[in-house]
Structure 1
């Protein structure tokens, strides 16, 4: 069955939050492995599931974000959130997730194209998306490359710092 992509409805949010946790479990496991021993993962994601649910909920309800869901067989199979910077004519895909049960069926690519088409319709000249370089993000990188996005290597470094003083 071909999924239908439509604007997020309020009653879709619980399903989106649940699928986001399932979809990103391998991503967070990979980040934990990459950052092992640094203390950075523990700082940002001591309990990643509630943090991620909160982040997804904020993105899905934020003013200025266009959020769409893919519905397959009456179930929310994935979602995408995008925003547009009219001054820069730059659109950004902020989040994309597909429920593991529905992965490898082209839904991520369809959601990516839907978001990019929406950004183009709003007059954006360029679209961007950020993702990780670790193993857990490999499926996302493939999705974006297949959709015509060109990767720009960026390296982000983190270090935990000793807490000093009374601040």
Structure 2
């Protein structure tokens, strides 16, 4: 049987976020983070989930992405395909007084996940923050099943996790 030709995925291109990218970045973030919110709903139950994330988590998340990507103190970058279509993004922040860099947000469009784009973004973030003279990087994520791919990525590029627990109780 003849060997099937292998298709290669082009390496993502890293470039600064532009205002023209913002709508696409917001859209891909909502698609990428939907499994996280499904996981939250399953774990918390509808009464607590609704108190935290209703009427629609998408509205709040879209606003958070826009606000974060447009913040003056953030350095935002996106991964673009060869035809310059955003497929992922990362937002970096820093606290030079603490020599601490932060990965504030990261997402890859579901159609482009598991192709190395997230790793490329994280490696770029690490290099960028190192080049700025910072000695420590923080990235936060959840311990729920929806965040399992993020945890795997962070561990694959050398981050050490510190388990934390948040408790919620509806009282109304």
With normalisation by structure 1, the TM-score equals 0.93
SS in 2 for 1:25: helix
Structure 1: 4+ residue segments shifted above 3 A: none
Q: Report the equivalent of 2:7.
A: none
Distance of 1:161 and 1:65 partners within structure 2: 37
- Show structure 1 runs of 5+ residues with no match: 163-167
Deviates more, 1:116-125 or 1:126-135: 116-125
Q: Report the equivalent of 2:99.
A: 89
Cα deviations by residue, 1:62-82 (Å, 9 ceiling, x for unpaired): 111111100013210100001
Please report how far the alpha carbon of residue 120 of structure 1 lies from its aligned counterpart in structure 2 after TM superposition. 1.1
Distance of 1:40 and 1:114 partners within structure 2: 37
Matched, 1:145 2:155: yes
Please report how far the alpha carbon of residue 131 of structure 1 lies from its aligned counterpart in structure 2 after TM superposition. 0.3
Count of residue pairs brought into register by the alignment: 161
Matched, 1:128 2:138: yes
Please report how far the alpha carbon of residue 117 of structure 1 lies from its aligned counterpart in structure 2 after TM superposition. 1.2
Please report how far the alpha carbon of residue 60 of structure 1 lies from its aligned counterpart in structure 2 after TM superposition. 0.3
Matched, 1:114 2:128: no
Matched, 1:154 2:151: no
Q: Report the equivalent of 1:17.
A: 26
Q: Is the 8 A contact 2:38 2:146 kept in 1?
A: yes
Distance of 2:95 and 2:48 partners within structure 1: 31
| 1:22-101 equivalences in 2 (<5 Å) | 22-37=31-46, 39-46=47-54, 47-74=56-83, 75-101=85-111
Cα root mean square deviation, aligned: 1.0
Distance of 1:20 and 1:127 partners within structure 2: 22
SS in 1 for 2:124: helix
With normalisation by structure 2, the TM-score equals 0.90
